[in-house]
Chains A and B, each alone.
Chain A
Amino acid sequence: MDILMSQTDLGKNVYPGKIELDGSRIDFSGEGLIIRSGETRKLLSPFLDVEYIAGKAERVEKIKGFFSLYSFINAGYHIEILKGYKLDRPLIINQYSSNKRSRINEYNYIFLGEDSAATIVFDYSNEDESETIHSRVTEIQVADNAVANIIKLQRGNNSSLNLDYNTAEVYGAGEINWYTIEVGSRESISSYHTELKGYGSGGFLSSIYFVDQERDFDLNYTMELTGARSLGRIESRGVLMDKARKMFRGNLIFNTGAVRADGSEKETVLLLSPEARSETIPALYCGEEDVSGEHAASAGRISDKQLYYLMSRGLSLSEARRVLVESSLNPLIERIPLLEIREIINEEIQRRLYDE
């Protein structure tokens, strides 16, 4: 059985140290897992990404603004996976926003000890259509030989604002696999900064997004390769419809000393409307000679031929479009290790496609 946790009953902002959450303390220490709710601690990293966010000064201000919110944390978990423990069930954390819980400031800290493994899902959604602001910071440390699978599913309602900042430090031959899926929120600014510090550390980020109507996504992914022979991958696939707008910033940073490090980033966008706006900055910063770095980006549309072919087989226009959207996103959706999450994503996208 999955370990399911949710935080739903917070109505007011409370100060650190006084947080009372439902299921306030779950201690799985007998199993090698410790979960405490709402533990706050000094932030590990001084929000490295700000300097890598090119252009758009107002965005930087906004992000800085939400950093200052961290004196008012009212949600989040402290999770430790002890040395050698391999969590065999996914840990699923649901965070609901609602009119009673419209302002969430969440802080999560996750630690994976040596040789441990865990799959942790964060599922963010709204219970109603009220306007909410959800800002969160998640910090992860992965020790030698540990494997972290982190799945973040953002499906907020169309009037909410989502601000999401994530950092991971990977040591030794540890590995982190990020799966970020964004389909909801009126506006979403999210950032993932992974630093691969050890010899042979691995960081893999798969990003899937679907933006329609007049919604606006700002996606920032940074893979910083510091350790020798570290391996970093960023791969993003997304669909833009209507008057949607997205900014993709992919940063590959090779620090001096990252000998034989290998990094790549790849972005594919499918544009489904003449009014959609797609901005991409796939940056590559390199201070080490002996590396291999690559980035590729492409944008395209569904060709009339493809649509015609599918429709000649009896599909309606919207069905044909759905098939093409799915086939565009599927290469990444398929990688998500949990069937139920894959199903949720497909349902969300279908709902949005037919909702027009």
Chain B
Amino acid sequence: MAKTKQDIQEPDRLFFDLKQDIDYRNKLTWKGLNAELITEISRKKKEPAWMREFRLRSLEIYNSKPMPQWGPDLSDLDVNEIITYIDPDFKKQNSWDEVPEEIKEIFTALGIPKAEQESLAGVGAQFDSEIVYQNMRDELAKQGVIYMDMETALQEYEDIVREHFMKLVPPEDHKFAALHGAVWSGGSFVYVPEGVQVDIPLQSYFRLNAPGAGQFEHTLIIVEKGASLQFIEGCSAPKYSVNNLHAGCVELYVREGARLRYSTIENWSKNMYNLNTKRALVEKDGLIEWISGSFGSKVSMLYPMSILKGEGARAEFTGISFASKGQILDTGAKILHAAPGTTSTINSRSIARDGGKVFYRGLVKVLPEAVNSKASVSCESLMLDSHSRSDTVPVIDIRNDQVDFGHEAKVGRISEEAIYYLMSRGISEEEARALIVRGFVEPIAKEFPLEYAVELNNLLKIELEGTIG
């Protein structure tokens, strides 16, 4: 029987929903937030005193800040009910064979070891609070590239970490940045020395398995003068009936003439609050490229920011959001033009279906000193039915007259003419609709690394199944 539009069903999330039966009773898990807990995390991680103090200061800031008064409703999220830290009972490995079987199984299902062999220069895998696996090709290590988990980096490269850690995203920034500062755990540290080109991507994969837990990984990447790096971040979690929280933090330093491409495919389960903060500082003639795919989570608030600090610095943001039943994806991009001759491009596509809500919220700010800058913003959204919502609020603030700025946005439906045309060519209505949706995301999908473009297509297929697929 042909599927009709009424046949909307909860899509099968396949392996994303695989739950690993890990006995959390035997592990140390901490719920809630207080100074003792934070001191204990810090002690267990054998952190230097400054980091412990930083965590405690962040906790104070967290307690003093109100919940955000704008954007999606967060009243259902009780941080005191979230497990803030899960103590692993195994050590980080650099061979998959030594990773505990039940954990290895999940990453194998997600295709990580296979991708590592075929197309990646290095992989880090985080399970709940800690990195369980990390490895990088030898030739990169020989060139001086550092890729390790944040805890080890804090031990081995304390000075670099201290100089950069939460300097771009200070805990004062907002409540969840402060929360991150207090309880951060895991994440990746990448250092690419001057002039080194890392042509094959590095990837970190974050998996949150425990029900009611939070993941607070910290990613710190420094790409030195003239160097280049591609970094991929993937996230997923199985679905539980209790809220999970992800409040990670990403800080990217792109030095003079360096290039960094930061790709994210986020497919958190639909009980996840994804309140992530990402920021990049780009120096003279540097380039930051953000590729961002948001599919999962219950509520997302994610607005990667690029600070164009050096003359001629560039930022490109390419993003796609797909909100389905019960989801609010409040995403966007922020660009600060702070130097002459800086350029930025924002290209965002969003799709809402089955009661899902997508909200594009963006900011482009051009400071008085950023003369001869160029900025362009394009947001398009597609509504697949009328009980979904799609809102667009791009804020544009221009403070000098030597600027070329263009913005355009569109919201609309699948045009009937296009469907008739395709049907007249012998394509069924469902197929025609699916084709048009794929065409809509194509300009974004092609920016993803190949394997991820395939994953993106699979995700779309899963999501569209039953509606128009």
Contact = CB atoms under 8 A, between A and B. Distances in A.
Contacts of A256: 386-387
Contacts of B403: 271, 299-301
A277 B403 CA distance: 11
A281 B394 contact: yes
Interface in A285-311: 285-301
Contacts of A346: none
Contacts of B12: none
Contacts of B391: 283-286
Interface string B110-128: 0000000000000000000
B409 A288 contact: no
B66 interface: no
A290 B413 contact: yes
A271 B394 CA distance: 20
Contact of A274 (B389, B390, B402, B410): B402
B20 to A, nearest CB: 39
A59 B420 CA distance: 49
A254 interface: yes
B337 to A, nearest CB: 13
Most buried by A among B389, B391, B398: B398
B173 interface: no
A37 B399 CA distance: 44
A286 B406 CA distance: 22
A241 B392 CA distance: 29
A286 B381 contact: yes
Contacts of A274: 368, 371, 400-402
A54 interface: yes
A298 B253 CA distance: 31
B388 interface: yes
Contacts of B396: 278-282, 297, 299
B395 A55 contact: yes
Given A289-B383, A289-B384, A282 B397 contact: no
A166 interface: no
A133 interface: no
A72 to B, nearest CB: 32
B390 A286 contact: yes
A278 B367 CA distance: 11
B410 A294 contact: yes
Nearest to A258: B386
Interface string B387-431: 111111111111111111111111111000000000000000000
B383 A286 contact: yes
A282 B407 contact: yes
A269 B388 CA distance: 33
Nearest to A253: B391
Contact of B411 (A257, A279, A293): A293
A280 B371 CA distance: 18
A81 B364 CA distance: 46
Contacts of A275: 368, 400
B385 interface: yes
A313 to B, nearest CB: 23
Contact of B407 (A286, A291, A298): A298
Contacts of B384: 289
Contacts of B386: 256-257, 287-290
A287 B387 CA distance: 7
A289 B400 CA distance: 38
B405 A299 contact: yes
Contacts of A54: 393, 395
B412 A279 contact: no
B385 A289 contact: yes
Most buried by B among A277, A284, A289, A297: A289
B196 to A, nearest CB: 39
Nearest to A302: B401
A294 B386 CA distance: 18
A281 B371 CA distance: 21
A159 interface: no
B409 A282 contact: yes
A287 B394 contact: no
Nearest to B357: A287
A57 to B, nearest CB: 10
Nearest to A298: B406
A284 B411 contact: yes
A60 B283 CA distance: 37
Given A288-B383, A290-B386, A291-B413, A277 B398 contact: yes
Most buried by A among B391, B404, B411: B411
A285 B352 CA distance: 13
Contact of B409 (A272, A295, A301): A295
Contacts of B398: 269, 271, 277-280, 299
Nearest to A273: B401
B331 to A, nearest CB: 15
A276 interface: yes
B100 to A, nearest CB: 47
Contacts of A298: 405-407
A269 B404 CA distance: 11
A12 to B, nearest CB: 41
B469 to A, nearest CB: 17
Contacts of A297: 396, 405-408
Interface in A222-273: 240, 254, 256-257, 269, 271-273
B387 A300 contact: no
Contacts of B413: 289-292
Contact of B405 (A55, A276, A289, A300): A300
A275 B399 CA distance: 7
B175 to A, nearest CB: 18
Interface string A44-55: 000000000011
Given A254-B411, A299-B405, A289 B395 contact: no
Interface string B361-392: 00000001001000000000101111111111
A294 B409 contact: yes
Contacts of B400: 271, 274-276
Contact of A284 (B387, B402, B406, B409): B409
A298 B411 CA distance: 18
A260 to B, nearest CB: 9
Contacts of A276: 399-401
Nearest to B412: A292
B16 to A, nearest CB: 27
Nearest to A299: B405
A286 B386 CA distance: 9
A121 to B, nearest CB: 32
Most buried by B among A273, A282, A292: A282
10 contacts: A274-B371, A278-B396, A279-B397, A282-B396, A282-B407, A286-B390, A295-B392, A296-B407, A298-B405, A301-B402
5 A-B pairs with least C-beta separation: A271-B401, A289-B383, A284-B392, A293-B411, A280-B396
Given A274-B368, A298-B405, 12 more contacts: A271-B401, A272-B401, A279-B395, A280-B397, A285-B392, A286-B389, A286-B411, A296-B406, A297-B405, A297-B407, A300-B405, A301-B402
Interface of A: 54-55, 240, 254, 256-257, 269, 271-301
